[in-house]
Amino acid sequence: MRMTPFDEVLVDVTSRSPKLSTAGYREHGRFPVIDQGASHTAGRTDDESLVTRADRPLILFGDHTRRFKLIDEDFVVGAEGLKVLAVGTEHDARYVFHALRSISLPDAGYSRHFKYLRRARLPVVPRQQQQRIAALLDQVDELRAKRRRTLALLDEWLASEFHEAFGHARWPEATIGDLLLSASYGSSTKAGPDGEFPMLRMGNVTPEGRLDLKDLKYVDLADKERDKYLVRRGDLLFNRTNSVDRVGKTALYDRGEPMAYAGYLIRLRLKPDNQPEYLAAFLNTKHTKAVLRSMAKSIVGMANINAKELAAMKVPLPPADAQRRFVTKVTAAASARTVAQQHLAKLDELFASLQHRAFTGQL
């Protein structure tokens, strides 16, 4: 297997592609807008003057995010930081796409990463073998995409159930503060690789309102600090400071082991007769997120909502039995999500194994 310099396989053609600012993204339009974000498509547009023609598949690289995307339709480049790469005609674009994704790039934060990518050398095999490897990796990748779609559909179903149960009637209102025993800021102690308790930080709360425990740091707490800085099952974690589009994301803590929480989070502990699942779902609706964004105060590019402002926010109060019925659906969705995540983890493991074998000459 020959290792070939990046510039002998790919050409940077970014300068040929006009860019559309984020203010120009639309929900509908003839052409997809592709940027370096997590979603494949960031929006749509009808502006044909900005279109990049994809006569053959192009590979897109997020200079800040390190994400790769393969696109084989006409599209518009969104915002800044996206590199457009053309694959040499002697190579299979899907094979090169998978080879690029197998490269381990250093994490330079929000700095640019293309300089590291251009130093890479790509494993090159005969084109027929490239196509065979790409087809195999495509098959497993498609299965992974279906599992991720299952997870997204569960979110959509639960949001739909919330709207169906609570969105068609006017209920009595209370403030969020009326529902709480306490609203407490997290610890400012710096977390590290070692410590007695895992510390949940704002990155551990996903935009969808779940906990992501893949990247944990740890902290030691004095006995007198534990009640103040540990979460327990049924607490909500509200992200009070973040970028404007992320501020206010909220996760329900539904685990048994004790964990600490950091200063950019507010722990909401509810009175016993309230359903935390209901309040978490309310705070994560699109409408509430829009309200929270409008409430947030911006300071040097970051948005902030303090505990007092959050506690004053109004929340509808449907009957307790209606909230409990919704909680059973939350529980059912969580169970289905666990199964789907287990399947996805196995597929991720299979894909990583095949990827390693493919680009070390073992396939």
Task: Give the model's pLDDT for residue 13.
Answer: 97
Q: 70 pairs with which residues across the strands? A: 59
Q: In sequence order, which residues have a C-beta less than 8 Å from that of residue 164 and are 6 or more positions away?
A: none
pLDDT in tens, 2-35: 899 999 999 999 999 999 999 999 999 999 999 9
pLDDT at 233 over 90: yes
Look up residue 299 and give its two tokens: 């300071």
Alpha helices in the chain (DSSP H): 93-101, 114-117, 127-166, 223-229, 276-283, 286-295, 307-311, 320-358
Report the topology of domain 2-124: Adenine-n6-DNA-methyltransferase TaqI; Chain A, domain 2 (3.90.220)
The CA distance from 112 to 99, in Å, is 20
Report the topology of domain 172-317: Adenine-n6-DNA-methyltransferase TaqI; Chain A, domain 2 (3.90.220)
Domains 2-124 and 172-317 share a fold: yes
Strands 259-261 and 197-200: parallel
pTM: 0.82
Task: Give the model's pLDDT for residue 15.
Answer: 95
* Residue 128 burial by Cβ neighbours in a 10 Å radius (0-12, 13-18, 19+): exposed
∠ Cα 228 230 236 (to 5°): 100
Residue with tokens 């589009």: 245
Task: Give the model's pLDDT for residue 299.
Answer: 78
Residue with tokens 């497993």: 140
320-358 and 93-101 helices, crossing angle to 10°: 110
Q: In sequence order, which residues have a C-beta less than 8 Å from that of residue 135 and are 6 or more positions away?
A: 94
The CA distance from 131 to 358, in Å, is 12
Q: How far is CA 294 from CA 44, 163, 244, 289, 299, in A?
A: 25, 22, 9, 9, 14
Look up residue 286 and give its two tokens: 């699109």
Look up residue 37 and give its two tokens: 């974000």
Give the residue among 84, 74, 82 at the shortest CA–CA distance from 16.
84
Count of C-beta atoms within a 10 Å radius of residue 224:
7
pLDDT at 74 over 90: yes
**What average pLDDT does range 204-209 have in this prediction?**
93
Domain residue spans in the chain? 2-124, 172-317
pLDDT in tens, 132-178: 999 999 999 999 999 999 999 999 999 999 999 999 889 999 999 99
Give the residue among 195, 194, 200, 198 at the shortest CA–CA distance from 262.
200
